[in-house]
């Protein structure tokens, strides 16, 4: 029999032996748990904060952050895209309505005439409508566009990569987002709410104009204050 010494005392009976073995097992398990905790802490510190994403339910999911995740401005993101029908893109618009739709969607087809009518009122103004067609084929998309007399730019199926579409609603077609020229989201709509949302393009443009004017006034005030402070400092010296 092997004698185990604990704190300078040798066990004299089987009960002492049993207690000693339990003690050593407990210590070994504690060391393993401590090591795992250290590894978890190190992993959390090393993992970059940009690699953690939070979904709608608040559950964290890890992802890989890329340097090119930032999209270009909307006009630039549309320059190299293939459009289905001849349509001049308004690259100087202040508001862009990005519209995802397809010819096999009943609501999309039903709303098409109203969308076309609204576009006539905004064409060449400070707003632009761009459809991201998601039909299964280019032929089906072109046929629907011609039959519906669509005159707005329509991006060919499969060529929507890189175009800002910060839609957060349910996956219902059609769906639409409004963004400014920098890709900042202004609002969204889906299904039967799309025509009314698009019809508010003038209101969105006016809101952006007010914000730009307010920023310009603040800039003038700030510059004026800086000039005044600089002049006062020179006079004191």
At 65, phi and psi to the nearest 5?
Answer: -85, 135
Pair 79, 196 in one domain = yes
Domain shared by 31 and 82, yes or no: no
Tell me the C-alpha distance between 116 and 144, whole Å. Answer: 12
| Residue 59 token pair | 């559950």
Domain that holds residue 53: 1-67
* pLDDT at res. 46: 36
What are the pLDDT digits (tens) for 158-202? 999 899 999 999 889 999 999 999 999 999 999 999 999 999 999
Is residue 168 in a domain? yes
Q: Which residue has the tokens 């576009």?
A: 119
Per the structure, the count of domains in the chain is 2
- Give domain status of residue 46, yes or no: yes
How many residues appear in the chain? 237
Tens-digit pLDDT profile for residues 96-146:
999 999 999 999 999 999 999 999 999 999 999 999 999 999 999 999 999
pLDDT in tens, 35-55: 554 444 334 333 333 333 333
Q: Residue 168's domain is classified under what CATH number?
A: 3.40.30.10
Neighbours of 169 (CB within 10 A): 13
pLDDT at 69 over 80: no
Per the CB < 8 A criterion, the answer to whether 103 and 135 are in contact is: yes
**Would residue 232 count as lying in a domain?**
no
Q: Which two three-digit tokens encode residue 190? A: 């889906």
């Amino acid at each position: 029999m092997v004698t185990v010494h604990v704190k300078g005392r040798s066990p004299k009976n089987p009960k002492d032996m049993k207690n000693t073995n339990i003690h050593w097992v407990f210590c070994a398990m504690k060391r393993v748990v401590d090591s795992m905790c250290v590894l978890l802490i190190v992993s959390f510190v090393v993992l970059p904060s940009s690699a953690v994403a939070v979904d709608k339910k608040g559950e964290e999911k890890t992802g890989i952050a890329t340097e090119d995740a930032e999209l270009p401005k909307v006009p630039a993101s549309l320059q190299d895209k293939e459009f289905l029908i001849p349509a001049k893109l308004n690259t100087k618009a202040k508001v862009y309505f990005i519209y995802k739709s397809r010819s096999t969607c009943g609501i999309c087809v039903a709303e098409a005439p109203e969308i076309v009518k609204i576009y006539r009122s905004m064409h060449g103004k400070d707003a632009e409508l761009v459809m991201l067609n998601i039909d299964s084929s280019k032929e089906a998309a072109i046929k629907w566009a011609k039959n519906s007399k669509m005159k707005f730019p329509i991006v060919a199926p499969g060529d929507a990569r890189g175009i800002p579409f910060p839609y957060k609603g349910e996956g219902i077609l059609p769906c639409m987002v409004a963004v400014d020229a920098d890709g900042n989201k202004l609002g969204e709509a889906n299904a039967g709410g799309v025509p009314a949302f698009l019809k508010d393009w003038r209101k969105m443009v006016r809101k952006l104009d007010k914000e730009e004017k307010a920023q310009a006034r603040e800039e003038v005030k700030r510059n004026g204050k800086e000039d005044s402070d600089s002049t006062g400092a020179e006079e004191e010296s």
